[in-house]
Amino acid sequence: MADRARRIGCLYVPDLSLAALLRAEPGIEGLAVVVTDGNDARSAVVACSPEAFEAGVTPGMTAGRAAGLHPETIVRPLSRAQVRSARAALRDVARSFSPRLAEEPGSEVCLDLGGLGQLFPSEEKLGWALVEAAARAGLAIRVGIASSRLVAVLAARCARTGQGTGEVRVVAPGEERAFLAPLPVELLPAAADLQAALRRFGIERLSQLAELPSRGLGRRLGSAGLRLWRLARGEDPRPLAFEKSPELFVEETDIGHAVFDLESVMFFLRRVYERLRERLLMRGMTGRGLFLRLDLDPSGRDERFVGLASSTCCAETWLSVTRQSLEQQPPRAGVVGVRVEVEPVPRRHAQLDLFTPTGPSPAGLDDTIARLIALSGDEQVGSPRAVDSHVPGAFGLVPFGDGSRASSASEGEAGGQPLLRAVRPPVKVEVTESRGRPLRLFSDRFRGRVMQLAGPWRLEGGWWLARRINRDYYEVELSDGGIYRLYLDRDRRNWFIDGICG
């Protein structure tokens, strides 16, 4: 696909309210589904699925009548929260391809396709890539590609639905007038009085409007009429701007009724988290924390921040940490709505090396660490660091990635000092003693006669603890040739090996 001076793509979602519902409840796709503007039988139908339309349901009829036309009709009230989330997902799809975009008044987003010519063999292939990206975000879209915003929007609206996922319509440069000619003037963005004036003049098609002389049209309809005349000729100079809004990844849903048990709340949160995960992956981001808001019945909110010790894009990890938070502090009333915002951070990427094997993915490592922390707690996972203590082998844990650095084995070897490898936990051994000094050791792992002995070094401390420290340390060489660190717990008269030299 050769780059052209100006090529615009439009992503269009037909029946956004229905698409938002199917995105939130994918299990009802393919059924007779009706979206209404209220909760009672007199509410008006605002959108319906093709299956409901085939049964005779049309927008504008009451919900009660629509339900009577098909015995298995699913009626759902319009959820503005779901619509907002669907719009945000559509914008994320566009931003994953281009930073220059603009939202149209309807359910369309336009984006600048400049610079994508080296990535796709044709504009049609690019259009289908947009369709596939939207499908991963849970949206079935139509794509229009043209040289101006209006032509791209109309191309997307006029595309016919294909095999379930969408359709792509490409208007080649120079063919804008031919494409616009048969379309009705009602498709142009104009006020009702201006549309009425065009009908009085007998103008029904865009070709008729484009053929009118601009001077006479300007005298009769003013600047607004001239603007429509230019649009009918395919001239739309409106620019696309760089998206300057902050990165917000928010998903909302209305439950429709109050749920009180934790499992039901987690069921709805799982759907929300899975949709957020797809949006983050699409943008190359990951989550560092979750801002959770639960709308309560009949009023009020439960707001909390669910922190993640390591950034992750794993929905299962988010669910585990959220479950812990809700178990520790349950909502004070039934939940009727859910809103989740992810604190995004860029995903880490590894620099490949030609001469070393490929290591684990940084993103996968972050997910694993986050899941371990969710399962075992913050204090059980981290990087070991030496602490200020007289106890041999004492250490603490610090979170991964804090920038601190421990002494490596190679540094110890470079100093000419033998390495002591800690045995965790210390291995209890049976010891034959003579005058309090060890002569022979017995255990499943270690056994032998003491050939050389150094010590003891007595260590006492921690008198303020429930279990104080009162030990005698030795370094012993056994008949098997190994050198070990051995200590006696003097309070309990138990012997342990807690280190191996070499």
CA dihedral angle for residue 262, residue 265, residue 270, residue 271, rounded to 10 degrees = 160
DSSP string, 421-474: EEEEEEEEEEEEEETTEEEEEE-SS-EEEEEEEEEEEEEEE-TTSSS-EEEEEE
pLDDT of residue 351: 64
Q: Give yes or no for residue 162 having a pLDDT over 50.
A: no
9 band by pLDDT with thresholds 50, 70 and 90? very high
Counting residues of the chain whose pLDDT is more than 90, the rounded percentage is 38
Q: Report the alpha-carbon distance of residue 49 to residue 53 in Å, rounded.
A: 6
> Cα(first)–Cα(last) distance of the chain, in Å?
64
DSSP string, 218-255: HHHHHHHHHHHHHHHTT---PPPEE--S---EEEEEEE
Q: How does pLDDT run across 90-125, given as a tens digit for each residue?
A: 999 999 999 888 888 778 999 999 888 778 989 999
pLDDT of residue 164: 41
Q: Look at 307 and 483; give whichever has higher pLDDT.
A: 483
Q: At what angle do helices 16-24 and 262-282 cross, to 10 degrees?
A: 120
Q: How does pLDDT run across 270-303, given as a tens digit for each residue?
A: 999 999 999 999 888 888 889 999 999 988 999 9
pLDDT of residue 378: 63
pLDDT of residue 201: 85
Sign of CA dihedral 323, 324, 325, 327: positive
Residue 262, classed as helix, strand or coil, is: helix
Q: How does pLDDT run across 403-459, given as a tens digit for each residue?
A: 444 444 444 444 556 678 888 889 999 998 888 889 899 888 888 898 999 888 888
Q: Extract the tokens encoding 120.
A: 């796709």
In the predicted model, what is the mean pLDDT of the chain? 84
286 contacts 280 by C-beta, under 8 angstroms: yes
Q: Look at 84 and 3; give whichever has higher pLDDT.
A: 84
pLDDT of residue 43: 93
Q: How does pLDDT run across 49-79, given as a tens digit for each residue?
A: 999 999 999 999 999 999 988 888 999 999 9
pLDDT of residue 143: 94
Distance, CA of 357 to chain centre:
30
Average pLDDT on 16-27 reads 92
Q: Kindly report the pTM of this predicted structure.
A: 0.71
**Structural domains present in the chain:** 8-173 (3.40.1170.60), 177-232 (1.10.150.20), 249-346 (3.30.1490.100), 417-501 (no CATH)
78-82, 121-125, 461-465: segment of lowest average pLDDT: 461-465
Nearest to 169 by CA among 112, 116, 208, 130: 130
310 contacts 355 by C-beta, under 8 angstroms: no
Average pLDDT on 349-359 reads 65
Q: How does pLDDT run across 174-197, given as a tens digit for each residue?
A: 898 899 999 988 888 888 888 888
Residue 39 neighbours by CB under 8 Å, 6+ apart: 77
319 contacts 274 by C-beta, under 8 angstroms: no
